[in-house]
Chain A
């Protein structure tokens, strides 16, 4: 198995820069997510790791060995695509054993490996069936089997669940993660679905316009986003942004928001001008005597919780509160923000200001 290190990797397609200077490390055995909107460079990054594209500059290390300019066949990795391609004229067993047979492996060993893979994927009963009659899930399992059977150093997956419907995707996501936990192989997984990334990943890289916006554990990225882009991309509903003119100095622990004083984690850097206060919906609570006011414009029932949309002088704010709490549309309520959880962004460049709250996560860059 393998550690993968990406160092200052850049990729240009003619005048278009798909990836600008990415640097991050994927530790051995990690389930690692490359997350971002379409066109952010995540698939290009993955394809460079796999050797399907060559970087314009920078280095890629697999287990300490620089492989940036090596073709895919020399990297000992397996790639699983969104559209799983199986050989239609072969049965399941032949599809899975094909990569081994074509390497010239002995028949006994091939059989042992296929049996092993079929057991891991729980498809032993399908081995002698033609692939034509299989369900979508079973086809995906066979495609995985073909990747696993080679025992590569790492698995690369490009939106492998993208074509499945929501219910089945959830199921396969769990299965993939469980499979990873059984095998412990380094896995790099590309997705644009933030929930999938949070749910499955040990670590996440969030990319936008070819730039790595943030890199870390899912909960850390959620709690302490490095940029407004990350804050908005991760979480549903996304983080509320309240734009205001104001200032905060080093050590300062509050800002003036529309005449109301809002406490924030103590600042480690100062800024004056256009700022954005970032508040997650679950950190907004209603308190009658809170000075910051909002008017309820929509209520969405979600079972145990409800999402309440409020109009404030700084735009819409969404709150996630218990559905046991009665809320009426048009009602005017006082809003409290949980001070320990707030982020302040420089509205000009979208970067978060370092504070007591996020310094532990962001200090290392």
Chain B
């Protein structure tokens, strides 16, 4: 396994700057998730590491070695895409063996057998080894395509939204499974998604991308609790953080333009009055849509709250975050 470093990487496609001076270290054995909306530069970053694309400027290092001029095949990286591409006429075993049978590698037969067995067990598809790839469910197929990356012992795994085409239940299972595989094997993973749940639950480090720039890099807890900007704060948390004018509540520090309040960081019972516009019972919690001094905000409360639309409650910030006019966090 390996450490991957991007140093001042810039990439343009015509007039669009896809990556703007991105510097990033993926530590050895880490699970780094790049999070951002479409067009933020997530996939381009992956392609820089894999060698499917080359930077206009800047450098990519794997284990200290510059990758300039090296083809994807020479970098020893493994990619897993959203769309699993298996050989339909081959069995699961043959699909898994395939990367090892490359004439370049000359892997001995016994080693192939052992490796396939190992990976199949980790992915819990050992009982399906002799099945045709087409006879598998969607989740099993995606596990096989992950398995095909795993058998190779690459220096880094690059994954581009590998779970996004699966249904919710399966996605939840595979999130846990992927994280377990990564922790167990000590693999280094660079993973791209726009799903904040995946980022929060799996990552050791989250990289928040915005329009080609890396705006924050840290543990999920750091990004959630100590976001560097309004943008970073809105990337994690469901419902989204409320961003309001700072002077709406007393006590804003000098220079504060906005106050950010996560829905769970609004204390109820004291403070000033807000009107309950709508009560949404989601089962495990209830969301209150409030109007406060002509601004809309959302807070969460007890699942069985007796509150109804039209009533008023008193609210005050409990753990406010303040931002300046440029949207940067004031600490």
Contacts and interface: CB of A to CB of B under 8 A. Distances in A.
A219 B281 contact: yes
B239 to A, nearest CB: 8
A349 interface: no
Given A195-B282, A222-B281, A303 B200 contact: yes
Nearest to B280: A199
Interface of B: 37, 168-169, 172, 175-176, 179-180, 195, 197, 200-202, 220-221, 224, 236-238, 262, 264, 278, 280-284, 286-287, 303-304
A124 to B, nearest CB: 21
Given A301-B220, A302-B200, A219 B278 contact: no
A36 interface: no
A219 B304 contact: yes
A132 to B, nearest CB: 22
Nearest to A37: B167
Contacts of B220: 301
A301 B283 contact: no
6 contacts: A219-B281, A223-B303, A236-B168, A236-B172, A300-B175, A304-B264
B221 A237 contact: no
B284 A301 contact: no
Question: Most A CB atoms within 10 A — which of B37, B202, B283?
Answer: B283
Contact of B37 (A167, A222, A234): A167
Given A167-B37, A219-B303, A237-B172, A303 B280 contact: no
A235 B284 contact: yes
Nearest to B300: A304
A114 to B, nearest CB: 28
A221 to B, nearest CB: 8
B179 A177 contact: no
A201 B96 CA distance: 46
B278 A181 contact: yes
Closest 3 CB pairs of A and B: A222-B283, A300-B201, A219-B281
Given A199-B287, A222-B282, 11 more contacts: A166-B195, A195-B282, A198-B282, A218-B281, A218-B283, A222-B283, A236-B172, A300-B201, A301-B220, A304-B262, A304-B264
Given A280-B284, A320-B284, A298 B180 contact: yes
A281 interface: yes
Given A219-B281, A219-B304, A303-B236, A298 B176 contact: yes
Contact of B281 (A198, A298, A304): A198
A303 B224 contact: yes
Given A181-B278, A235-B284, A236-B168, A301 B264 contact: no
A309 B179 CA distance: 13
A313 interface: no
Question: Most B CB atoms within 10 A — which of A177, A181, A282, A302?
Answer: A302
Given A218-B283, A298-B179, A303-B237, A177 B278 contact: yes
Interface in A62-80: none
Contacts of A320: 284
Nearest to A237: B172
